């Protein structure tokens, strides 16, 4: 079998996700400030104060103690199981603006937005693994509770031949089943529903039972629950991204050539940021880079660029690792190499210049840079455009040979942001774009140029309006649910037998213009001077590089009321007379102020 770059990456990512280890979510992504707190509450003693929201004939209160002895004392300690469950939930929510935390007593309820999932080691007796308060479409309720009955897995799958019996009863398999159920119940309270687990229509998305919101009614078996490291489906991901926000806002990779006749063992990129801080999320760590573990440092200085004042940072690549192009940590003379980084902050981050070093000596030649901003919305037309910059216009124009725009439902893993690589997510699952097209060819860029990546009035990739039939009587969250037990059904709620139906209200949306826009720019310096290792001399002529850039989508809220402008317009709270996707009151103010294009 021929091993391609993509097959190696997918295997490595899947093995990493299944390993008995810490979360695969990057340290920077974990440490950054989040908009939500998700508390995993594993009580050491029964908690009678835990809220009652049970509607299945099983009480959510009291919340029973979490003790591995009630499941299988031979698999490890309570702390080990608790920590591994935390790992699974953390990785499931890694790419969203949610901080996952573990508590053994009742978590604090002081933040504006929080959710508490109570996890006991008791069983439900009816095959019910977990229950959320509701499917909170749009995550309108900022504070929620959910309940998980861990030993329901033992009751259902612990018998002879079961998925958690005998040699199958391991800490990893228990943690897999419980962890993804915790993520499932939390996702209900964040607006995800069971139906969102289905693959996208007319797509090659992987099967439904690989997805976190799948249930027994979709064919999810005990073996699948215990043995599969499931992930959010495209639709689940897109809805959660809208409701929770994205943890990683921009990712950029570069194909560079060391143009010098001397080896380089360090690359330093000067960054201009509209934010006061920069926090690294992912970085490219594949076989095409000689370096790992880059660092970002604030210089404490500012620079005016294009009339805007930015804070200055240095992004440095110097920690040696093995790679495909030469000795560890060395970019040889005239050889191509690849680097990349992502940041958790919103706002514009411009790569201003690049410097190569041999030891402490700065080399005389360096790659020319082509950079992107974060995009701006024209509130008169409704266009959203991204600007691209030639960072050294005094050295002549750059040729933008080809610009490809790819709309993706989830973040492409930074190690897959290389030429000709198959698109995969951080869990190794292939990604099928919503669409891809070449939007620009053979454009001379003296200083800058722009490209439209969306119009505010265009249809979102997810736009589900729930009606009366989606909230039948007796369903969880319906007005009658508190008076009558919810009806049994065969297509809802996370149980292994008869199932419970949730009420759906409101409008489920994805981000604008899509969850991520992936731009692949092929750029040529027509008159570059660079070392030709084959001819062993300097030459002058065209030198090609690539810039691969992902931009996270956002929720348009230009009237700043905390609600997506599309919903304001749809519900009549705002008018949109010219159908450009911009609320009329915002457009009138924009025209009055004559402020020009406005950043998102």
Tell me, yes or no, whether 298 and 431 share the same domain.
yes
The span from the CA of 107 to the CA of 115, in Å, is 9
Q: Is residue 465 part of a domain?
A: no
Q: How many residues does the chain have?
A: 600
How many angstroms separate the CA atoms of 336 and 504, rounded?
Answer: 53
* H or E segment and range at residue 382: none
Residue 598 has pLDDT above 70, yes or no: no
Question: Cis omega before residue 62 (within 30°)?
Answer: yes
| CA dist list (Å): 567 to 113, 190, 245, 351 | 21, 17, 17, 36
137 with 259, same domain?
Answer: no
Structural domain ending residue among the three candidates 227, 245, 263: 245
* 106 and 212 both lie in a single domain: yes
How far apart (Å, rounded) are the C-alpha atoms in residues 32 and 36? 12
Query: Which structure tokens are listed for 85?
Result: 């469950």
Q: What is the residue-averaged pLDDT of the chain? A: 90
pTM, two decimals, is 0.91
Based on the fold, state whether residues 225 and 266 are members of the same structural domain.
Answer: no
SS (H, E, C) 130-170: EEECCCCHHHCCCEEEEEEECCHHHHHHCCCCCCCCHHHCC
Answer whether 437's CB lies under 8 Å from 405's CB: yes
Residue 494's pLDDT is 65
Question: Across residues 245-254, what is the average pLDDT?
Answer: 93
Q: What is the DSSP letter of 97?
A: S
By the 8 A CB rule, do 225 and 163 touch? yes
Tens-place pLDDT, residues 311-368 = 999 999 999 999 999 999 999 999 999 999 999 888 899 999 999 999 999 999 999 9
d(CA 470, CA 506): 10
Indicate if the pLDDT at residue 2 is higher than 50. no
> Average pLDDT for residues 500-507, to the nearest whole number?
77
Q: Which helix (H) or strand (E) holds 113?
A: none
* Phi and psi angles of residue 177, each rounded to the nearest 5 degrees, phi first: -65, -50
Q: Do residues 278 and 209 share a domain? A: no
228 and 330 assigned to the same domain? no
Q: Is residue 17 part of a domain?
A: no
Residue 57 has pLDDT above 90, yes or no: no
Enclosing domain of residue 588 = 563-593
Q: What is the pLDDT of residues 268-288, one digit of tens each?
A: 999 999 999 999 999 999 999
Contact call for residues 132 and 186 (beta carbons, < 8 A): yes
Q: For residue 13, what pLDDT is reported?
A: 37
One domain for residues 437 and 586 = no
Which contacts of 476-481 are long-range, i.e. CB under 8 A and separated by 24 or more positions?
A: 476/55, 476/131, 476/132, 476/133, 476/134, 476/135, 476/500, 476/501, 476/502, 476/503, 477/133, 477/134, 477/135, 477/502, 477/503, 477/505, 478/503, 481/55
> Residue 223 belongs to a domain with what CATH number?
3.40.390.10
pLDDT of residue 19: 36
Q: Mind listing the pLDDT tens digit for each residue in 449-489?
A: 999 999 999 999 999 998 777 777 767 766 544 434 443 33
Residues 521, 538 within the same domain: yes
Surface-to-core class of residue 167, CB atoms within 10 Å of its CB (0-12 exposed, 13-18 middle, 19+ buried): exposed
Residues in a beta bridge with 132 = 146
Q: Is the pLDDT of residue 396 over 80?
A: yes
């Amino acid at each position: 079998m021929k091993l391609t770059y993509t097959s190696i990456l997918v295997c490595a990512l899947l093995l990493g996700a299944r390993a008995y280890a810490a979360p695969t979510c990057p340290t920077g992504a974990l440490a950054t400030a989040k908009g939500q707190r998700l508390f995993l509450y594993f009580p050491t003693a029964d908690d009678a104060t835990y809220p009652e929201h049970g509607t299945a004939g099983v009480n959510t209160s009291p919340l029973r103690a979490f003790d591995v002895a009630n499941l299988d004392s031979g698999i490890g300690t309570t702390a080990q199981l608790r920590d591994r469950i935390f790992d699974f939930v953390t990785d499931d929510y890694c790419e969203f603006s949610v901080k996952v935390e573990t508590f053994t007593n009742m978590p604090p309820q002081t933040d504006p937005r929080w959710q508490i999932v109570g996890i006991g080691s008791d069983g439900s007796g009816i095959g019910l693994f977990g229950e959320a308060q509701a499917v909170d479409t749009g995550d309108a309720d900022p504070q929620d509770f959910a309940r998980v009955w861990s030993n329901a897995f033992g009751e259902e799958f612990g018998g002879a031949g079961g998925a958690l019996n005998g040699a199958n009863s391991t800490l990893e398999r228990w943690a897999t089943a419980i962890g993804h159920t915790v993520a499932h119940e939390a996702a209900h309270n964040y607006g995800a529903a069971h139906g969102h687990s289905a693959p996208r229509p007319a797509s090659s998305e992987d099967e439904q039972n690989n997805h976190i919101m799948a249930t027994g009614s979709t064919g999810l078996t005990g073996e699948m629950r215990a043995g599969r490291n499931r992930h959010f489906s495209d639709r689940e991901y897109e809805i959660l991204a809208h409701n929770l926000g994205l943890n990683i806002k921009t990712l950029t990779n570069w194909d560079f050539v060391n143009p010098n006749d001397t080896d380089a063992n360090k690359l330093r990129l000067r960054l201009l940021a509209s934010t006061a801080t920069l926090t690294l999320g992912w970085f490219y760590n594949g076989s095409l880079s000689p370096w790992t573990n880059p660092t970002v440092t604030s210089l404490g200085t500012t620079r005016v660029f294009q009339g805007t004042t930015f804070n200055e940072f240095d992004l440095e690549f110097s920690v040696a690792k093995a790679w495909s192009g030469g000795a560890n940590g060395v970019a040889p003379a005239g050889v191509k190499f690849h680097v990349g980084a992502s940041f958790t902050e919103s706002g514009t981050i411009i790569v201003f210049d690049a410097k190569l070093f041999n030891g402490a000596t700065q080399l005389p030649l360096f790659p020319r840079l082509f950079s992107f901003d974060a995009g701006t919305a024209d509130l008169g037309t409704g266009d959203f455009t991204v600007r691209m910059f030639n960072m050294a216009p005094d050295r002549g124009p750059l040729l933008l040979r080809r610009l490809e725009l790819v709309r993706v439902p989830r973040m492409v893993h930074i190690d897959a942001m290389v030429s000709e690589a198959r698109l995969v997510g951080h869990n190794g699952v292939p990604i099928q774009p919503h669409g891809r097209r070449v939007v620009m060819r053979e454009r001379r860029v003296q200083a800058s140029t722009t490209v439209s990546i969306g119009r505010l009035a265009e249809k979102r990739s997810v736009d589900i309006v729930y009606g009366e039939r989606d909230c039948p009587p007796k369903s969880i969250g319906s007005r009658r649910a508190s008076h009558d037990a919810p009806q049994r059904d065969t297509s809802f709620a996370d149980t292994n037998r008869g199932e419970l139906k949730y009420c759906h209200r409101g409008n489920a949306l994805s981000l604008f213009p899509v969850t991520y826009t992936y731009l692949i720019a092929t750029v040529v310096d027509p008159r570059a001077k660079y070392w030709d290792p084959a001819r062993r001399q300097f030459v002058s002529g065209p030198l090609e590089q690539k810039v691969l850039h992902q931009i996270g989508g956002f929720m348009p809220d230009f009237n700043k009321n905390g609600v997506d402008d599309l919903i304001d317009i749809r519900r009549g709270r705002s008018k949109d007379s010219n159908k450009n996707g911009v609320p009329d009151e915002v457009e009138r103010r924009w025209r009055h102020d004559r402020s020009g294009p406005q950043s998102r």
